[in-house]
């Protein structure tokens, strides 16, 4: 708050504040003087300039008034600095009732501030203070009211911009629908009657419309070329990935080929349970058994001596 600010100041800080207020005031005056003819904000600029002058003439609470002056200058910069200041954004939107209302409110706040602060620039201000007038509270209230109004102005401009964007979107969608109804961009260029019809429908010169359609087609062609190039790149990458997968599959198939078990010798005899066969094949029956403490299937081959060479080979593979 202004009270805490002033109480905590030493002489060096007060001098620095005074110099900062003077520099800010000089910069703000130039900005405000150049903005006095702007729509909506012209009167706001004049009153703000006047309020800064009054701050320089206040005879009491100079440090607090200097802090207020810096705040006013910063708010002025927010309103009038180009190209992003509120005034610059608003000047392209004439006859907007919301902006007009908010600027009128800011004018009222500034005008009241000029009147209130002027009381402390004349003789007799001590009497006013002794009668209960509190300059610092007036400074604080003015700063608060200006800040709140400025926030409302910012919000109001955002609302205006959003509405404009929505309207622009509707217009674009409407034009796009009309183009689609006439066969798209290619259809317009192929049929002069359709181009003439669209030009009349949306209220533009047919020559300008033809140029815009050609530009759009050129841009579309460029975009298609880029997409095609990207697709080709993706296909090349997929082909490389496919080749890598094939190589991996070949490598895996080599390493996982069925081992040759023809030379494997048992180190002990399995224990066979012949009470109930698990199955029966061409060369004998299969029983449940145990080998080295593991459950196994044991096939007992019958008639080995009568098997042909081919049958023995098949049995070996099995």
Q: Which helix (H) or strand (E) holds 79?
A: helix 62-80
How many other CB atoms are found less than 10 A from the CB of residue 83?
Answer: 6
How many other CB atoms are found less than 10 A from the CB of residue 298?
Answer: 19
Instruction: Please name the residues in contact with 51: beta carbons below 8 A apart, sequence gap of 6 or more.
Output: 72, 110, 113, 114, 117
**149 contacts 106 by C-beta, under 8 angstroms:** yes
Nearest to 28 by CA among 43, 42, 45: 45
296-300: which pairs have CB atoms within 8 A and are 24 or more residues apart? 296/270, 298/270, 298/272, 300/272
Is 254 marked as a binding-site residue? no
Q: Which residues of 230-261 are buried (b: 16+ CB within 10 A; e: fewer)?
A: eeeeeeeeeeeeeeeeeeeeeeeeeeeeeeee
Nearest-angstrom CA–CA distance, 309 and 184: 78
DSSP letter string, 176-244: HHHHHHTTHHHHHHH-HHHHHHHHHHHT--HHHHHHHHHHHHHHHHHHHHHHHHHHHHHHHHHHHHHHH
How many other CB atoms are found less than 10 A from the CB of residue 274?
Answer: 11
* Helix (DSSP H) and strand (DSSP E) numbers for the chain: 12, 4
Q: Which helix (H) or strand (E) holds 291?
A: strand 284-291
Q: Residue ranges for the binding site for ATP?
A: 299
Q: Residue ranges for the binding site?
A: 299
């Amino acid at each position: 708050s202004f009270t805490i600010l002033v109480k905590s100041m030493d002489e060096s800080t007060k001098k620095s504040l005074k110099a900062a207020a003077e520099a800010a005031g000089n910069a703000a005056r130039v900005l405000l003087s150049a903005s006095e003819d702007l729509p909506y904000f012209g009167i706001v600029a004049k009153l703000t300039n006047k309020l800064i002058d009054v701050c320089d003439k206040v005879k009491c609470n100079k440090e607090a008034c200097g802090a207020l002056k810096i705040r006013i200058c910063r708010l002025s910069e927010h309103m009038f600095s180009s190209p992003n200041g509120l005034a610059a954004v608003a000047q392209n939107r004439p006859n907007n009732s919301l902006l007009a209302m908010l600027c009128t409110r800011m004018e009222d706040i500034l005008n009241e501030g000029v009147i209130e602060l002027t009381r402390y620039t004349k003789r007799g201000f001590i009497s006013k203070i002794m009668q209960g007038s509190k300059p610092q509270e007036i400074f604080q209230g003015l700063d608060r009211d200006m800040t709140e109004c400025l926030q409302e102005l910012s919000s109001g401009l955002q609302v205006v911009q959003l509405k404009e964007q929505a309207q622009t979107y509707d217009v674009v969608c409407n034009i796009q629908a009309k183009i689609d109804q006439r066969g798209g961009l290619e259809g317009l260029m192929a049929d002069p009657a359709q181009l003439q019809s669209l030009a009349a429908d949306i209220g533009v010169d047919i020559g300008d419309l033809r140029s815009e359609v050609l530009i759009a087609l050129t841009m579309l062609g460029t975009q298609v070329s880029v997409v095609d190039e990207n697709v080709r790149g993706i296909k090349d990458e997929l082909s490389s990935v496919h080749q890598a997968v094939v190589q991996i599959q070949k490598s895996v198939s080599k390493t996982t080929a069925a081992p040759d078990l023809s030379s494997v010798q048992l180190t002990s005899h399995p224990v066979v349970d012949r009470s109930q066969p698990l199955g029966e094949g061409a060369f004998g029956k299969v029983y449940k058994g145990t080998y080295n403490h593991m459950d196994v299937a044991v096939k007992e081959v019958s008639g080995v001596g009568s098997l042909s060479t081919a049958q023995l080979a098949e049995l070996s593979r099995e």
